[in-house]
Structure 1
């Protein structure tokens, strides 16, 4: 029986490339595609794929929250993250959220296929670069950075803020009250020693969480 895979990425070209790789592989079937975290969760709940290949930076709730939700609504489904981000906090936080694998987008087609097969078989799979960085961090006692202070939810809210989402938008997508989101936002300002959303974006750029450019999901910095 084929391994049924859900592809999740907001770039159609990326999905097409991965689909081509998987379609050429014996025993793997691309079940469906999704372009947002919300669609990924809905499809995981209804279609129960064996494996999800999950992007991180997408419109809406994004890959981290989608991974956490899939682990809750479809616990038999295995999530492999495929991201441009090779450095923490992404790998460790996504594994904490429920991912069983983590690849970078410069990996080979053969490695994607290997990861799908091994994760489906019940193993964890980390790209060599990710495994090395996580091992280095563990052996050195972990990096003492401001990001280490953030809870999983605070990091999720931060990622949505730096993508340009307003407090109301985050409230709607994460099913939190606007007051709760505002509390998280001000907590972030205090913990990371920034004054506003622009300062938060600059912090994110310095720490490799965001590529330099405008925030445009809603309106920049709008609460």
Structure 2
């Protein structure tokens, strides 16, 4: 009998994924939680065939959470299910050890495909991401300016563009404000922008280029 964990702060999202799982795995056990603390508490008690989780939940340090999970369960299968742009975030999270990265706008058929591949210990990459990686392999270089950032810096980017200030981000990630300030300075420097408005515009421009 399969055992799944769904981690997302939106009830409707958890319900939708649970419905898909229950249709495909009738006798499966499906646990739910709404933040990173809940994920950790569940995983200390249970072993799961698959964890389906968002990387941006309230009060969640997704980078350290994933590192801790893989430290405790190196073979854990994790599928990221998120609204975050795969063009910007997917490669970093795949490098952390997750098996797949899928957008919440994806239809049920593709979600089922992703779940099936990851359960069978294979990676799930959308056709869009496959095209991007193939192009980069052929050209021998990345077209993604956000590849210059570390996983932690990408996480900080998400909170910055969401309007969070340095103190709020520091509280969310349980670090000192000076640490977030340093991350912010490095992010702006690496991406060649001067402020958050320019950072947001860069993200928008990059997405338009990738989709054209």
Q: TM-score range by the shorter chain?
A: 0.7 to 0.9
Match of 2:204 in 1: 205
- Which moved further from structure 2: 27-36 or 183-192? 27-36
CA deviations over 1:104-163 (Å, ceiling 9, x no partner): 334343443343333223222223333233222222223344323212222222222222
Match of 1:11 in 2: 10
Hey, which of these two has a bigger chunk of helix by percent?
Answer: 2
Match of 2:91 in 1: 92
The count of residues paired between Structure 1 and Structure 2 equals 208
Residues 30 and 137 of structure 1, relative CA distance in 2, 3 Å threshold: farther
Match of 1:75 in 2: 74
CA distance in 2 between counterparts of 1:207 and 1:45 reads 39
Residues 129 and 144 of structure 1, relative CA distance in 2, 3 Å threshold: closer
Residues 108 and 64 of structure 1, relative CA distance in 2, 3 Å threshold: farther
Secondary structure in 2 matching 1:88:
helix
CA distance in 1 between counterparts of 2:84 and 2:173 reads 23
Return 5+ residue gaps in structure 2 as ranges.
none
Return 5+ residue gaps in structure 1 as ranges.
210-223
CA distance in 1 between counterparts of 2:146 and 2:107 reads 30
Match of 1:143 in 2: 142
Residues 75 and 163 of structure 1, relative CA distance in 2, 3 Å threshold: farther
- The structural deviation recorded for 1:19 is 0.8
Residue pairs, 1:1-223, within 5 angstroms = 2-26=1-25, 29-61=28-60, 63=62, 66-85=65-84, 87-208=86-207
Residues 164 and 28 of structure 1, relative CA distance in 2, 3 Å threshold: farther
- C-alpha RMSD of matched pairs (Å): 2.7
- The structural deviation recorded for 1:6 is 1.0
State TM-score, norm by structure 2: 0.81
State TM-score, norm by structure 1: 0.77
CA deviations over 1:63-94 (Å, ceiling 9, x no partner): 55543443234333211122345542222111
